[in-house]
Amino acid sequence: MSERLQKYLASCGIASRRKCEEYILSGKVRVNGVIVTELGVKVNEDSDIVQFNNKTVRPEENKIYIALNKPTGYVSTVKDERNRKTILDLVKVKERIYPIGRLDYDTSGLILLTNDGDLYNKIIHPREEKNKVYIAEIMGIPTEDQLFKFQRGIIIDNYKTSPCKINILKNEKGICTVKIVIHEGRNRQIRKMCDSINHPVISLKRLEVAGIKLDNLQEGKWRYLTTDEIMNLKSFSPK
């Protein structure tokens, strides 16, 4: 689809459309290597190369931020070598998005997706201590000593986990429901921690990450984050 050059430049974040017209008239813009000084020229994003001050420019992609309630049986990747279902089978948008972190194949709950690389790096960086809240069903009832050990940190994969929180919500017929709050995200971390105290996980669901809550979002459904949620993520600081 073709559009006027000044509109294209504005969509690239160069300046306002009127200011872009001034840049064109002053000879600062090239199309396919040729300086353009006429305002009526149209360009096509797919076939034309536009340069401003000798640097190629392209329209800024619309940034989107999504919360998904991932069911079990889906991998948290864009593609899967084993052809298993991915979370992108559940989220159909035109933008090229990717998950912020991962949830195991057998884990359900909240996962965030975006095409904002800056926010992705901010949230995923290990120095940012972002609370992640889970509900887990585990076999048996942990003792006070086991809970204390769990909270202080456990050696898994030759690494000691950071302090966390675990609270028993209920126990019934040998199955205990616990709430776990961690700020790390190592591979199958909670499952390995529970295995280490001899109370393996039966089911695991994430309810919250970095202040974004799952709330009443139905399994397999997704929603756009609100403006307030996005701003909170961008200004996020460790708790």
Token pair recorded at residue 134: 């889970």
Catalytic-labelled residue, pool 104, 106, 195, 228: 104
Token pair recorded at residue 148: 């204390």
Q: Is 104 a catalytic residue?
A: yes
Which residues fall within 8 angstroms of residue 225, CB to CB, at 6 or more apart?
65, 66, 67, 112, 212, 233
Residue 191 and residue 178: Cα distance in Å, rounded? 13
Enzyme catalytic residues = 104
